[in-house]
Amino acid sequence: MTTTPHPQRIWLTGATSGIGRALAERLLDDGHRVALSARSAEKLEALTEGHDNALAVPLDITDRGAVTAAGQQIMEAFGGLELALLNAGTCEYLDARDFDVDLVERVFAPNFHGALYTIEAALPLLRQARDHDGSRPLLAATSSASAYVALPRAEAYGASKAALSYFMESLRLDLAAEDIGVSVIHPGFVKTPLTERNDFPMPMRVSVDTAVEAILKGLEKRDLDIHFPKRFTYLVKLMGILPPGLRWRLGRRMTRDRDNRAAGDET
Say if residue 258's pLDDT is above 50. Answer: no
Which residue numbers are catalytic?
A: 157
Alpha helices by DSSP H, the chain: 18-29, 41-48, 64-78, 101-108, 115-133, 155-175, 208-220, 230-241, 244-252, 256-266
Sign of torsion over alpha carbons 205, 87, 194, 260: negative
The candidate with the shortest Cα–Cα distance to 112, out of 61, 50, 172, is 61
Residues 173-223 pLDDT 10s:
999 999 999 999 999 988 877 666 766 667 778 899 999 999 999 999 999
Report, in this order, helix, strand and coil percent for the chain, each rounded to 5. 55, 15, 30
pLDDT band at 154 (very low <50, low <70, confident <90, very high): very high
Q: What per-residue confidence (pLDDT) applies to 58? A: 97
Cβ atoms of 86 and 119 closer than 8 Å = yes
In percent, the amount of the chain with pLDDT more than 70 equals 91
What's the CA gap between 233 and 118, in Å, rounded?
27
246 vs 264 pLDDT, higher one:
246
Is 115:141 a contact under the CB 8 Å cutoff? yes
Strand arrangement, sheet containing 33-37: 54-56, 33-37, 9-13, 83-86, 138-142, 181-187, 225-228
What's the pLDDT at 241? Answer: 94
The pLDDT value given to residue 199: 67
The predicted structure's pLDDT at residue 264: 32
Question: What ranges do the domains of the chain cover?
Answer: 9-266
Q: At residue 250, what is the residue type?
A: L
Q: What is the largest CA-CA distance in the chain?
A: 70
Q: How far apart (Å, rounded) are the C-alpha atoms in residues 42 and 161?
A: 28
The domain defined by 9-266 folds into Rossmann fold (3.40.50)
Model confidence pLDDT, tens digit, residues 30-69: 999 999 999 999 999 999 999 999 999 999 999 999 999 9
